[in-house]
Structure 1
């Protein structure tokens, strides 16, 4: 037993305000530092990666621009050779069936040397006839030097240069072919110009750039349209692997590389620049170490400050707690003013508040006691007030069942309608619901019409025409029945012979529902209608005989209360009547959007 008591005392000592403040502040600071460090680490990592990707992207764009410039230089040079007058003349003779002699072909050497001097990348130029016979360089070999696929690629370009790619017959050279069209022969094909370009000509960096430390971790791969490497800083197997992969990162062996791809619009070649992911994010490890050290230093400093702050806050409260402990055993007692004079303003205010609490406690107890008595009496009166309506409802229901047993079905339905009518009206008077649905209002009006049908018999015919989509629209309670009562009183009963009352619910405009009560009574002339509108608006005295003006005025006020915008636009109640043509009383309400509840 003593062991459990000692354990309980230790738990109480641990669960002090000082320890709670210390632990709470410490955990909060550790969480803040952890999340801040993780956020900074993530953002800086992304920033470093994006910076490296942007750098390599810019490098790739520049390299691709230089590649296009080199390709265009070759394209321009071959265009000049194709358009050379001597070349055109020589090929025209070949087409016309006059073979070139040795001296004519010898002259092509000087022309080729002159054009090749403009570009250091061209290793050789070859000139072929349409029947694939080589005119230059000078030899009498009849072996076809150009394959059918290469000739087809040149013909497809229709005079533009065709970049074939790596030349399988001549190592370390790139092959390009241009079909020569004869200007003096309606630009018909006359032969082919074959260009062999040194592979190193397309090295974007060069030896000097490779010694640059900023470029030492970047690798370039240039491939032709068939995916064959032309220039590559990596071996052919790795190059093929890179070309087969997609995405912003590729794997070369076990190393992840950032990859930026560019496409040459001139030759259709692909340029890929690679950078190791570790090289792009080499500053992250330093950042991680700095964040760990910063979190450790900040956490240690905050522990010391939290311990000091919690002690300063809780020490005066501990003294005040010891002073107030006697109230638990000896009742509520005032703390003497000169007994605890603490230095902090908050503790002094706490002491004064405690004394005020003790002073006013008895008064509060008395007030609560009186309120409980008053509430009990109010509940008793409310219970008594509910007895009479329930007695009325139960009596009407007893009449209904008694009439049903006697097979007085019509009278029983009237009694049931009267019970529902009273229940609806009394519930409204008690303030149970301020708004109901149009369906509820129409059912109440239907019950009223059934009762009036029993009184007027064949003199009253009625109908309800309502749009099913509008029946769930909220509407103020008891807003339609006064209009129906007014239509029967002043419309049906004022005429000789049968009369009818029609209730219509429809929507003529989006978001607006119109409710109209129509009778075929005697109607009103303009003067009577004007007096009625003044009576409804409260400008004239109400008719004490039938109270219709009071009911209509009440409906008007409620419409302006619940639908200020609609009522202001449509004038609340709208009455359309002509002498001998009946009366139509209508009003508009707004249709709430989906998801709105009855308020």
Structure 2
């Protein structure tokens, strides 16, 4: 039996630990994979932004070449542009056109094609429409010059230039070989199936590793969600397979880099980890079972001998001592068992008294507890008040806390006067009202004759605390707590009412059973208050709750009227 239980426990522990390790490692692997994907896209985005910034700087250098210089028969200007073009392999051509599309100067000097419809091309129209902004076109085939059909990106803007003694406006265009952008994008590796593509701000594909399939209609990219993001991640199921999409924007041109990865590849890694853990668990369990059989046999033999000796005691033979040899632990059990048999008579007589004393002791300990959370919040409130310079509120809070502790201690007495109990709860309400920034008001009323009666201490604070936490804390309207102490037919009656949210019938039925008490509170719960009253005064006394939703809650506390001795003598004299 020991071998079986030991094996079962070991198997459960190994399985739980293995599951936790699998869950931790798999989640870590998945998070690292997604983080790696995001970092790759961020790097490509950074590289593209750096390249675009460099191209804008090149355009500015070209533009500066026209500043104040003649363009008609200016061989020096043409030479400077040619030199600039030759220093950058990714520059294809530089050209200046009039607003009517007539060429002014172009480098290299090549024959232009007929019917280019230059003024209808998108880069020209965008520059004329937004003359002060640098326009960067989508990739297109250059069709301006004979013999050149390169895949380029055109940068253009309206500039002023001088020709034949006049200042004119024209469109300066610089064509950049798209190959560099393509090389930056094609280096992305997002697993075996993953890839990245680029779109412009309106959804036109700038670059795609399978661009021919896209144009042929053999591949589909769901770009609508990606256009809604400037920076973000989401999951796409448009192709029937789960895909993890990462979107970053290339500033300042508004292009978007879209990374596409497949979580199924991450699942494969998790599957490999799962298979390894299965083999590992099987090996560990086999080893543990072999060891447990050996160890259990060594443990079980002396325990069986001890069991035989114990059966003699069961039959009433208390005179025969138990003497079992074996492990040190078994010998100690044998020795302790002999001591137990000698003392069993006394323990049987004392057990009832001890249980009752234990219960009272536990209740006294609960009563004396001061919640560290309450103390921490109170001192924290004092610090904030002091920082704001509200010295009067600081003095008021500390004075109330001091009085609250003084009455709680009560020189070790468990019984105090009703006056002190009401003073205790008043100081508690002052502290809580400061903490909750005057969220509620409170009123305490008491008949003069009831103030001299005696009561268990700390029975009102838990009830007031319950009213604040479960009644007033979550409501928006100002709260009101009313405490009334009166003497009715030789019975002291406390009534605590609030205008809070109230409680449902289920919560109301369970509150005296302790089922509604949560983690917040003073440690002296409603159930404990009810038990203390009934233990001290009998089952006739205790708590009674009434509550209506959105109306509030009223709790009535009834205890017998017992006067302090000097007050009792004065009462009889009068």
Task: Report the equivalent of 2:221.
Answer: 241
Match 2:207 to one of 211, 231, 238: 231
Name the Cα RMSD after superposition. 5.1
Quote the Cα distance in structure 2 between the aligned partners of 1:366 and 1:224.
91
Task: Report the equivalent of 1:42.
Answer: 23
- Are the aligned partners of 2:162 and 2:168 in contact in 1 as well (CA < 8 Å)? no
Report SS of the residue matched to 1:260. Answer: strand
Q: Rate the CA distance shift 1:144–1:24 in 2: closer, same or farther, 3 A.
A: same
Report SS of the residue matched to 2:183. Answer: coil
Quote the Cα distance in structure 1 between the aligned partners of 2:449 and 2:120.
92
Quote the Cα distance in structure 1 between the aligned partners of 2:417 and 2:282.
63
Task: Report the equivalent of 2:40.
Answer: 59
- Are the aligned partners of 1:222 and 1:232 in contact in 2 as well (CA < 8 Å)? yes
* 1:310 pairs with 2:296: yes
- Are the aligned partners of 1:182 and 1:189 in contact in 2 as well (CA < 8 Å)? yes
- Are the aligned partners of 2:47 and 2:184 in contact in 1 as well (CA < 8 Å)? no
Report SS of the residue matched to 1:325. Answer: helix
Task: Report the equivalent of 1:76.
Answer: 57
Quote the Cα distance in structure 1 between the aligned partners of 2:451 and 2:142.
101
Task: Report the equivalent of 1:134.
Answer: 103
Q: Rate the CA distance shift 1:50–1:234 in 2: closer, same or farther, 3 A.
A: farther
Quote the Cα distance in structure 1 between the aligned partners of 2:161 and 2:266.
54
Task: Report the equivalent of 1:176.
Answer: 155
Quote the Cα distance in structure 1 between the aligned partners of 2:449 and 2:269.
70
Give the alignment of 1:456-471 within 5 angstroms: 469-471=442-444
Give the alignment of 1:349-364 within 5 angstroms: 349-362=332-345
TM-score (norm 2): 0.52
Q: Rate the CA distance shift 1:307–1:296 in 2: closer, same or farther, 3 A.
A: same
Give the alignment of 1:95-134 within 5 angstroms: 104=73, 112-134=81-103
Give the alignment of 1:321-470 within 5 angstroms: 321-329=307-315, 331-336=316-321, 340-362=323-345, 434=416, 436=418, 469-470=442-443
Match 1:294 to one of 260, 280, 288: 280
Q: Rate the CA distance shift 1:83–1:239 in 2: closer, same or farther, 3 A.
A: farther
- Are the aligned partners of 2:44 and 2:185 in contact in 1 as well (CA < 8 Å)? no
Q: Over alpha carbons, which structure has the higher Rg?
A: 1
Quote the Cα distance in structure 1 between the aligned partners of 2:522 and 2:288.
54
Q: Rate the CA distance shift 1:434–1:190 in 2: closer, same or farther, 3 A.
A: same
TM-score (norm 1): 0.50
Task: Report the equivalent of 2:126.
Answer: 153
Report SS of the residue matched to 1:471. Answer: strand
Task: Report the equivalent of 1:320.
Answer: 306
Task: Report the equivalent of 2:196.
Answer: 220
Report SS of the residue matched to 2:202. Answer: coil
> How far did residue 180 of structure 1 move?
1.0
Q: Rate the CA distance shift 1:360–1:271 in 2: closer, same or farther, 3 A.
A: closer
> How far did residue 156 of structure 1 move?
6.2
Task: Report the equivalent of 2:258.
Answer: 272
Task: Report the equivalent of 1:405.
Answer: none
Match 2:7 to one of 26, 29, 39: 26
Q: Rate the CA distance shift 1:324–1:182 in 2: closer, same or farther, 3 A.
A: same
- Are the aligned partners of 1:150 and 1:164 in contact in 2 as well (CA < 8 Å)? yes
- Are the aligned partners of 1:134 and 1:141 in contact in 2 as well (CA < 8 Å)? no
Quote the Cα distance in structure 1 between the aligned partners of 2:449 and 2:124.
89
Quote the Cα distance in structure 2 between the aligned partners of 1:215 and 1:314.
57
Quote the Cα distance in structure 2 between the aligned partners of 1:259 and 1:368.
70
Q: Rate the CA distance shift 1:320–1:435 in 2: closer, same or farther, 3 A.
A: same
Match 2:172 to one of 193, 215, 225: 193
Report SS of the residue matched to 2:289. Answer: helix
> How far did residue 192 of structure 1 move?
0.3
What are the ranges of 5 or more consecutive residues in structure 2 without an aligned counterpart? 144-148, 227-232, 358-412, 424-439, 455-481, 483-520, 533-574
> How far did residue 106 of structure 1 move?
9.0
Report SS of the residue matched to 1:173. Answer: strand
- Are the aligned partners of 1:126 and 1:134 in contact in 2 as well (CA < 8 Å)? yes
Which of the pair is proportionally richer in helix?
1
Quote the Cα distance in structure 2 between the aligned partners of 1:27 and 1:115.
80
> How far did residue 117 of structure 1 move?
1.7
- Are the aligned partners of 1:223 and 1:231 in contact in 2 as well (CA < 8 Å)? yes
> How far did residue 37 of structure 1 move?
1.7
Quote the Cα distance in structure 2 between the aligned partners of 1:147 and 1:274.
35
Task: Provide Cα deviations, 1:338-359, integer angstroms capped at 9, x if missing partner.
Answer: xx44223343344344444444
Q: Rate the CA distance shift 1:140–1:31 in 2: closer, same or farther, 3 A.
A: closer
Report SS of the residue matched to 1:45. Answer: helix
How many residues align? The count is 372
